[in-house]
Amino acid sequence: MTTEAPRTEPRNDWTREEIAALFDLPFTELVFRAAEVHRANHPANEVQLSTLLSIKTGGCAEDCGYCSQSASANSGVKATKLMDVQAVLQRAAQAADQGSTRFCMGAAWRNPKDRDMPAIIEMVKGVREMGMETCMTLGMLTPQQADMLSEAGLDYYNHNIDTSPERYGEITTTRTMEDRLDTLSNVRMAGINVCSGGIVGMGETREDRVGFIHTLATLPDHPQSVPVNALVPVKGTVLGDMLADTPLAKIDDVEFVRTVAVARITMPHSMVRLSAGRESMSEMTQAMCFMAGANSIFTGDKLLTAPNAGDDTDAAMFARLGIKPMAISETQAQVEASRMPKGCVKLEAAE
């Protein structure tokens, strides 16, 4: 690989060798390149604030090794029913008052049942009426369910690929990577923006992190939002118990920043979000992530069932770093610019 600055136009033909070469760059060179790409495509020193609410917790039929909400985990998380629509909208209004511009709603399901869709649709419509971006993560979707969410005005649908295709079967056995990609295809075909990322620090190798980013960066259209999570080990989950015995498997801060930087370079127009795991990161690690191209965070005290840094802590950090929250007008403009007509799959290749 040459030392020339990377191109800022999206391309979908990245090779694993090219992505591995980015990971292998000297750290400061990699962060510098990522910062160049970021500034060419996004406002500098602005970060989007998002809020995540668990609208249906626990009892999930999937056996994901990282998840405290799996019915097979012994994490102490109790299963609940779907929240009342008005209760969800009240939480959304509180999030808006605290500066969030995107409200994300997550349900611990393998897939939503048709009987749940009317309430889900009302939640989407209600949050949109507040002027916020909407995001849902409900598990796998049929084409018909994706169409229903699109017609309700859903802005984003989150469905993480978690890790590399090669390691996927070690993380969960109740679905395949192809199941994940099929739902992403259904979401794209419905004209909804895709939010898809994964989790690092699950004992994977750098080669797995290369494979994870390669899968996202070679989709027909890059995810408009790419969450990068650091595993929060929970006692009673497969990975939480494993990492308790092998703490060296936890990803170090430099490698985490590298992952953010490579995601930014390979997917230049995407929002790259620091998601789970921020509460255990130092302020300087987060600052390096922002320098490397992260421009979205989850704020608030809780992410589904995991702890989070909190609004006051984030506000103080932003003040020290000279970062300001991204305005809703800017995030909405990106949504409208990236939203594709229903049934359209855009292909962007390198020149």
Residues annotated within a binding site for [2Fe-2S] cluster: 104, 135, 195, 273
User: Would you say residue 313 has pLDDT above 70?
Assistant: yes
User: Would you say residue 237 has pLDDT above 70?
Assistant: yes
pTM: 0.87
Number of domains in the chain: 1
344 has catalytic annotation: no
Q: Is residue 7 part of a domain?
A: no
Q: Which domain holds residue 249?
A: 16-336
Q: Is residue 166 part of a domain?
A: yes
Tens-place pLDDT, residues 47-58 = 998 888 999 988
Lowest mean pLDDT among 87-101, 169-183, 319-333: 319-333
Q: Is residue 163 part of a domain?
A: yes
Q: Is residue 59 part of a domain?
A: yes
The catalytic position among 64, 175, 188, 264 is 64
pLDDT band at 314 (very low <50, low <70, confident <90, very high): confident
Question: What is the rounded distance in angstroms from the CA atom of residue 74 to the CA atom of residue 234?
Answer: 10
Q: Tell me whether strands 133-137 and 225-230 are parallel, antiparallel or unpaired.
A: unpaired
User: Helices 27-41 & 16-24, crossing angle to 10 degrees?
Assistant: 120
> Domain containing 158 — which CATH number?
3.20.20.70
Q: Is residue 343 part of a domain?
A: no
Express as a percent the part of the chain with pLDDT over 70: 85
64 has catalytic annotation: yes
The catalytic position among 258, 273, 278, 289 is 273
Residue type, position 306, single letter? A
Q: Tell me whether strands 133-137 and 156-158 are parallel, antiparallel or unpaired.
A: parallel
Express as a percent the part of the chain with pLDDT over 90: 62
Q: Is residue 341 part of a domain?
A: no
195 has catalytic annotation: yes
Q: Is 133 helix (H, G, I), strand (E, B) or coil?
A: strand
104 has catalytic annotation: yes
Q: Is residue 147 part of a domain?
A: yes
pLDDT value at residue 64 = 86
